[in-house]
């Protein structure tokens, strides 16, 4: 089983002075993860994460330049790379798959060409800069499609439109095979407790002849239930003959927010949302509860022969200027009026002051 981390915001953290500690000693967390057997770094790519006036969207400013810089750092420490292509200028997930600003007037033919060309250009740049990925994720959490509305899979509660979707995804996969034929291609969904949707989706991939290697799943118990529900779904997916990877995992060490500038900042997973029967009653959102949960989860995936697990943003500490979005980024995804501060900091494997938590040493490779 492979282990990986998504630390796409890491360079932005370092630019803001983030420091990490084991006890009182300052450490390089990337070295510490490698010592635990973590092999892969997953790095997301947004097409053009800044406004038309040039204001960055933040959350790592994850364009191809960030991928190259962070990829070089990762390679220097012995990591393999997973390139996570969102095909959007900012966050893409089940609730939003925004068309990049440069593509907004495209029809299906032009959009298909754009997906192919953008994928090819990113990979050619990565090869040229010495940071060719070993895995490539074509789309991010694409359960409900990609590049809405042209590639949307769920409209008014009804699923369909796979012909358009598969033209777009197929173009990305084709570019991957042409530029890096040995790299493994992942198709990544969320809603990982929904066996019916996974069976529908990957059956459609087979019937449309989509060329890929890995079934990827996001798993957060707050939205996706217990590990047993996850395993019921992923074990059913083994019939497709692909590798299966938990592409995103997270669990909190507290449900309490943090204070910056005298103001308490909100969290995505707060005390109200962090109630999952069969999970949080056994593993409370405390440092020890987080550690016991990660230990349990790693045991479950090993027992079920899952091929890999990636922890999502374990180094995303809170701090002045550390944001999930700028106001310009919020405007692009139509989520204005909310706090821009880091809402995910309580899911890290380091506490708010950068001290390594007990869960860190449960996320390790065991021979």
- At 367 the pLDDT is 65
User: Quick one: 10 exposed, middle or buried, by C-beta within 10 A (0-12, 13-18, 19+)?
Assistant: buried
pLDDT, mean of residues 280-307: 97
pLDDT, mean of residues 222-232: 96
**Domain at 313, CATH number:** 3.20.20.80
> pLDDT digits over 163-212, tens only?
999 999 999 999 999 999 999 999 999 999 999 999 999 999 999 999 99
Whether 211 and 185 have beta carbons less than 8 Å apart is answered as yes
- At 366 the pLDDT is 80
> pLDDT digits over 166-178, tens only?
999 999 999 999 9
Whether 234 and 216 have beta carbons less than 8 Å apart is answered as no
Which DSSP string corresponds to 14-39?
A: HHTT--EEETTEEE-HHHHHHHTT--
- Whole-model pTM? 0.97
- Least confident stretch, 89-103, 233-247, 264-278, 285-299: 264-278
Domain range enclosing 320 = 2-362
How many Å apart are CA 252 and CA 248, to the nearest integer? 14
- Least confident stretch, 71-80, 87-96, 258-267: 258-267
Between these two residues, 50 and 261, which has the higher pLDDT value? 50
Give the three-class secondary structure for 52: coil
DSSP β-bridge partners for residue 44: 84
Q: Is residue 303 predicted with pLDDT exceeding 80?
A: yes
How many Å apart are CA 316 and CA 60, to the nearest integer? 10
- Least confident stretch, 129-133, 261-265, 326-330: 261-265
Q: Is residue 22 predicted with pLDDT exceeding 70?
A: yes
Q: In this structure, is residue 333 part of a structural domain? A: yes
Q: Is residue 118 predicted with pLDDT exceeding 80?
A: yes
CA atoms within 13 A on the CB side of 108: 14
Q: In this structure, is residue 46 part of a structural domain? A: yes
How many Å apart are CA 341 and CA 214, to the nearest integer? 33
Q: Is residue 124 predicted with pLDDT exceeding 70?
A: yes
Percent of the chain exceeding pLDDT 90 equals: 91
Do you know the residue count of the chain?
A: 367
Averaged pLDDT of the chain:
96
Q: In this structure, is residue 16 part of a structural domain? A: yes
Confidence tier at 269 by pLDDT (50, 70, 90): confident
Q: In this structure, is residue 367 part of a structural domain? A: no
- At 1 the pLDDT is 95
The Cα-based distances of 186 to 61, 109, 183, 322 in angstroms read: 23, 23, 10, 29
**Helix locations, the chain, DSSP H:** 10-15, 29-35, 64-76, 108-128, 162-179, 195-207, 221-224, 227-236, 287-303, 327-332
The Cα-based distances of 76 to 70, 93, 216, 308 in angstroms read: 10, 30, 26, 22
Domains identified in the chain, total number: 1
DSSP β-bridge partners for residue 159: 154
Question: Which token pair is 108?
Answer: 């299906």
């Amino acid at each position: 089983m492979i282990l990986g981390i998504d630390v796409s915001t890491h360079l932005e953290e370092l630019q803001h002075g983030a420091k990490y500690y084991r006890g009182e000693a300052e450490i390089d967390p990337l070295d510490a993860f490698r010592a635990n057997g973590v092999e892969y770094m997953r790095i997301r790519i947004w097409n053009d994460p800044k406004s038309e006036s040039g204001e960055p969207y933040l959350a790592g400013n994850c364009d191809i330049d960030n991928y190259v810089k962070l990829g070089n750092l990762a390679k220097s420490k012995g990591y393999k790379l997973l390139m996570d292509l969102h095909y959007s200028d900012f966050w893409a997930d089940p609730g939003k798959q925004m068309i990049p600003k440069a593509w907004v007037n495209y029809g299906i033919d032009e959009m298909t060409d754009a997906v192919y060309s953008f994928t090819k250009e990113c990979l050619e740049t990565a090869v040229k800069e010495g940071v060719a990925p070993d895995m490539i994720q074509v789309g991010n959490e694409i359960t409900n499609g990609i590049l809405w509305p042209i590639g949307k899979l769920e409209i008014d509660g009804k699923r369909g439109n796979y012909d358009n979707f598969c033209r777009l995804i197929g173009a990305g996969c084709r570019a991957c095979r042409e530029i890096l034929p040995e790299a493994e291609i992942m198709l990544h969904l969320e809603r990982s407790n929904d066996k019916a949707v996974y069976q529908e989706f990957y059956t459609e991939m087979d019937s449309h002849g989509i060329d890929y290697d890995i079934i990827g799943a996001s798993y957060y118990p707050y939205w996706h239930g217990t590990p047993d529900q996850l395993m019921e779904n992923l074990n059913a997916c083994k019939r497709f003959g692909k590798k299966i990877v938990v592409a995103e995992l997270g669990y909190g060490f507290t449900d309490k927010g943090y204070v910056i500038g005298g103001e308490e900042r909100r969290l995505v997973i707060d005390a109200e949302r962090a109630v999952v029967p069969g999970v949080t009653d056994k593993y409370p959102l405390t440092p020890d509860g987080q550690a016991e949960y990660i230990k349990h989860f790693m045991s479950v995936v090993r027992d079920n022969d899952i091929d890999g697990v990636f922890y999502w943003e374990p180094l995303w500490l809170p701090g002045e200027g550390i944001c999930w979005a700028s106001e310009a980024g919020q405007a692009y995804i139509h989520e204005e009026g909310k706090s821009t501060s880091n809402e995910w900091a309580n899911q890290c494997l380091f506490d708010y002051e950068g001290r390594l938590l007990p869960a860190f040493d449960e996320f390790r490779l065991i021979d």
